[in-house]
Amino acid sequence: MRLILLLSGLLVLFTAQASGIDQTAAISALQQSDSLLIDVRSAEEFAEGALPGAIRIGHEEIAAHIASVAPDKDRPLVLYCRSGRRSALAQQSLEEMGYTRVINAGAYDELLPLLNNDE
């Protein structure tokens, strides 16, 4: 029984860490005029550098604050963090709230060069 619980826990952890990072979809969504780029990192990380046009809503507070910036649950939302783990958690929260177009763009350091190449 312990093994089953351990494996279940690992599966949940792995799913949260690797939940659908899709940088191609993120770049495509960001080309739409109604998309919103959200940095779910800490305020300190955001202050050290953020993607152009991003707003910051920490992953732990996204459920409480998303409606003020994105009341339309069909608006494309592109999330990123340092590794993709926190953006996966935020993506899951938003999808549970009924947001339909949430994309986990993954890591800031990996997304930055892709956006610079796109310009």
Round the average pLDDT of the chain to a whole number and report it.
87
Report pLDDT for 6.
45
pLDDT single digits (tens) 74-103: 999 999 999 999 999 999 999 999 999 999
Torsional sign, CA 75, 45, 92, 115: positive
pLDDT single digits (tens) 17-46: 445 899 999 999 999 999 999 999 999 999
| Active-site position among 26, 29, 66, 81 | 81
Please name each of the domains of the chain with its CATH number.
2-118 (3.40.250.10)
Report which of 20, 14, 15, 17 is spatially closest to residue 105, judged by C-alpha positions.
20
Q: pTM for this structure?
A: 0.82
Task: Tell me the Ramachandran region of residue 109: left when phi exceeds 0, alpha when psi lies from -120 to 50, beta otherwise.
Answer: alpha
81 catalytically annotated: yes
Backbone φ, ψ for residue 100 (5° rounding)? -100, -20
Report which of 115, 98, 97 is spatially closest to residue 106, judged by C-alpha positions.
115
